[in-house]
Each structure stands twice: as structure tokens, then as C-alpha cells.
């Protein structure tokens, strides 16, 4: 199935505002990058599909290491460059054919981007190629179970189907990593805040903060937005709908047959692929989020 193309020119203006990295998120991701990607001041990190450089600049600032961000969207890169952060080098290009020599990076980050790759296998092979031996690949990506908990789909039902088709589930990603030579090291489920309030949620919907909202029909978008606006005239945003989980999957360019290191075995955060543990999903919610029937849908 062809991957639907999203034109990020339309997102560049609002992207940082609608996906801001609040301090709590910065601390959380810094800790995960340090621990699982092994980042330090000597690291060379490649941010694949860096967009406006949310993570590239965070990593360069926090670790004082060399960072390169690559993205095919000139508009997203223009926003990244405008941050004037000297520690990052920006390159226009696609994950499937990157203009870098073999083995020049210690870590690659692919954050919420896998579903945009036209050829995922080629992109994974490229990330493997540019990593040094024992380099790490970190992927921020939503599993299907994690997607299904997100509020948007209750107002825009066909968006869920589109996302389930375009986002590979975590098991598929693990297979892809394995096929391309990576040893899977860590599968970490992170719960993070998406929305602060009903007003914040509605503002994000109005700016089509999620790329899938540009893939549904204009009619469905308008209908869902009207329903959300009407619904939140009388309702608060439920606390469970403020949060969603995302998976942080880490692979290593190392001997696939190598057993997990003692450090990995001792680490409660590490789910080694060799132990065949299943994907952890979101922690169970204290209540079932509003059933769709509770929304004022006209059918």
C-alpha cells in the first residue's frame, strides 16, 4: 500500500507550538537518550526526519555533542535553522538515501517519522549503514494500542483507520530492525502529556496539529471539529485524555547473536528481544474513556 504523502510545508508554522517539549518531557527524554542511546559530549547523533529540530536542539544543548538533523521539508528545516542553534548541522534529504559516509554516527534518532518513509526497509538499511559499530538507533513511535487511546479518533473516526494502516505496529518495526541487522535492546513505554485543557485541545485541532488530520476529507475534518467544539462547550477535558503513551524502541548495530550484556540484564527498563517478552502497552486506565456514543454524533 503506498504511504500517504503529507506536505509538511503546512505544518512548519505551528509545529513547535502544538508539539512543545515542556520541561518535564525534556527531562524524561534526556534521561532516556542518555541511558539507552549512550549520549555524552563525545557523541555524534543523527536526527532522521528532524523536522523543526525539537529533539536535535534539545540533544545538542543537553549533551553538548555533535548533532546533524536531516529532513526533506525545506519549510520544517527553515524553522529549525531559525532557532540559530550553532551546535546542529541541518541537511535536506530523505532517510532512504542519506548523504553521509558509512559508520559516521554513534546514534540515530527517528522520532514520529517512520510512517512517512516511502521505503521503510531502505531507510532502516541506511540508518544501519551510517551508524558506527555498536551505535544505537532510537525510535519514538506509537503502537496501535497506544494510538487507539488518543482522543482525536473519537471525533475523526476514519483518521484511526488511516493511522493504523500507515503506522507499522511495534512488532512489525522490531522485525524490520532485526531484518536490517539491528539487535533489539530496549522497548520502553513512556506516558506523556498531550493536552493541557479542552481549550488547548481545540486550538490544536484547529491548527490540524496531527498530520492525519490533513489526510481525511475536509468534510470529515469540519464535522469532527464542530462536534468537538460543541462537546467541550459543556465538558472538561477528562484527565485520562490529556495523556498518551508512546514507545521508545532501541536497537544496536552489533552482533545479532550476542546475548544481552550484564548491564542490560540487570536493568529493569530493558526488555531484551531475546527473552521474547511481549510489547508493553499503556498502563490500564482508571476509567474507560468516553465511549463514542457519549459524543453528540449525528451518525
Positions touching ligand SAM (CB under 6 A) are 8, 19, 48-51, 54-55, 71-73, 76, 94-96, 111-113, 116-118
Residue 79 or 253: the one with the smaller Cβ distance to ligand SAM is 79
In the bound complex, what is the minimum distance in angstroms from residue 10's beta carbon to ligand SAM?
11
In the bound complex, what is the minimum distance in angstroms from residue 21's beta carbon to ligand SAM?
8
CB 144 within 8 A of CB 280: no
In the bound complex, what is the minimum distance in angstroms from residue 295's beta carbon to ligand SAM?
26
Residue 231 or 248: the one with the smaller Cβ distance to ligand SAM is 248
Q: DSSP letters along the chain, please?
A: -PPPP--GGGTHHHHHHHT---HHHHHHHHHHHHHHS---TT-EEEEET-TTTHHHHHHHHHH--EEEEEES-HHHHHHHHHT--TTEEEEE-BTTB----TT-EEEEEEES-GGG-SSHHHHHHHHHHHEEEEEEEEEEE--HHHHHT-THHHH-HHHHHHHHHHSPPHHHHHHHHHHTTPEEEEEEEEEEE--SSHHHHHHHHHTT-SGGGGTS-HHHHHHHHHHHHHHHHH-PPPGGGGEEEEEEEEEESS-TTPPPPHHHHH-TT---GGGTPPPP-PPPPSS----GGGS----
Residues listed for the chain: 299
Residue 51 or 135: the one with the smaller Cβ distance to ligand SAM is 51
Residue 50 or 189: the one with the smaller Cβ distance to ligand SAM is 50
CB 77 within 8 A of CB 57: no
Residue 138 or 224: the one with the smaller Cβ distance to ligand SAM is 138
The CB-nearest residue to ligand SAM is 51
CA–CA distances in Å: residue 185 to residues 113, 147, 218, 254, 262 = 20, 23, 42, 10, 12
Residue 26 or 274: the one with the smaller Cβ distance to ligand SAM is 26
In the bound complex, what is the minimum distance in angstroms from residue 8's beta carbon to ligand SAM?
4
In the bound complex, what is the minimum distance in angstroms from residue 3's beta carbon to ligand SAM?
9
In the bound complex, what is the minimum distance in angstroms from residue 101's beta carbon to ligand SAM?
18
Residue 54 or 166: the one with the smaller Cβ distance to ligand SAM is 54
CA–CA distances in Å: residue 276 to residues 185, 248, 273, 284 = 12, 17, 5, 22
In the bound complex, what is the minimum distance in angstroms from residue 40's beta carbon to ligand SAM?
22
Residue 116 or 174: the one with the smaller Cβ distance to ligand SAM is 116
In the bound complex, what is the minimum distance in angstroms from residue 294's beta carbon to ligand SAM?
30
Amino acid at each position: 500500500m503506498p504511504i500517504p504523502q503529507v506536505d509538511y510545508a503546512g505544518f512548519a508554522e505551528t509545529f513547535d507550538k502544538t508539539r512543545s517539549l515542556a520541561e518535564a518531557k525534556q527531562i524524561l527524554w534526556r534521561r532516556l537518550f542518555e541511558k539507552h542511546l549512550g549520549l555524552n559530549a563525545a557523541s555524534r547523533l543523527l536526527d532522521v526526519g528532524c523536522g523543526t529540530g525539537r529533539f536535535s536542539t534539545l540533544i545538542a544543548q543537553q549533551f553538548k555533542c555533535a548533532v546533524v538533523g536531516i529532513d526533506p521539508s525545506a519549510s520544517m528545516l527553515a524553522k529549525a535553522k531559525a532557532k540559530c542553534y550553532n551546535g546542529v548541522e541541518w541537511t535536506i534529504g530523505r532517510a532512504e538515501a542519506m548523504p553521509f559516509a558509512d559508520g559516521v554516527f554513534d546514534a540515530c534518532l527517528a522520532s514520529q517519522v517512520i510512517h512517512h518513509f516511502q521505503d521503510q526497509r531502505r531507510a532502516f538499511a541506511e540508518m544501519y549503514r551510517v551508524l558506527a559499530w555498536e551505535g544505537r538507533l532510537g525510535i519514538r513511535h506509537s503502537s496501535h494500542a497506544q494510538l487507539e487511546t488518543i482522543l482525536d479518533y473519537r471525533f475523526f473516526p476514519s483518521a484511526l483507520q488511516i493511522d493504523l494502516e500507515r503506522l507499522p505496529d511495534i512488532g512489525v518495526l522490531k522485525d524490520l530492525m532485526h531484518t536490517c541487522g539491528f539487535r533489539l535492546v530496549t522497548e520502553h513505554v513512556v506516558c506523556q502529556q498531550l493536552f493541557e485543557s479542552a481549550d488547548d485541545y481545540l486550538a490544536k485541532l484547529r491548527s490540524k496539529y496531527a498530520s492525519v488530520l490533513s489526510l481525511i476529507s475536509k468534510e470529515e475534518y469540519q464535522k469532527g471539529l464542530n462536534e468537538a467544539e460543541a462537546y467541550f462547550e459543556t465538558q472538561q477535558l477528562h484527565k485520562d485524555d490529556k495523556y498518551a503513551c508512546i514507545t521508545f524502541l532501541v536497537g544496536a548495530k552489533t552482533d545479532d547473536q550476542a546475548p544481552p550484556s550484564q548491564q542490560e540484564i540487570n536493568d529493569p527498563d530493558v526488555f531484551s528481544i531475546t527473552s521474547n517478552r511481549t510489547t508493553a502497552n499503556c498502563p490500564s486506565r482508571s476509567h474507560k474513556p468516553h465511549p463514542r456514543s457519549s459524543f453528540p454524533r449525528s451518525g
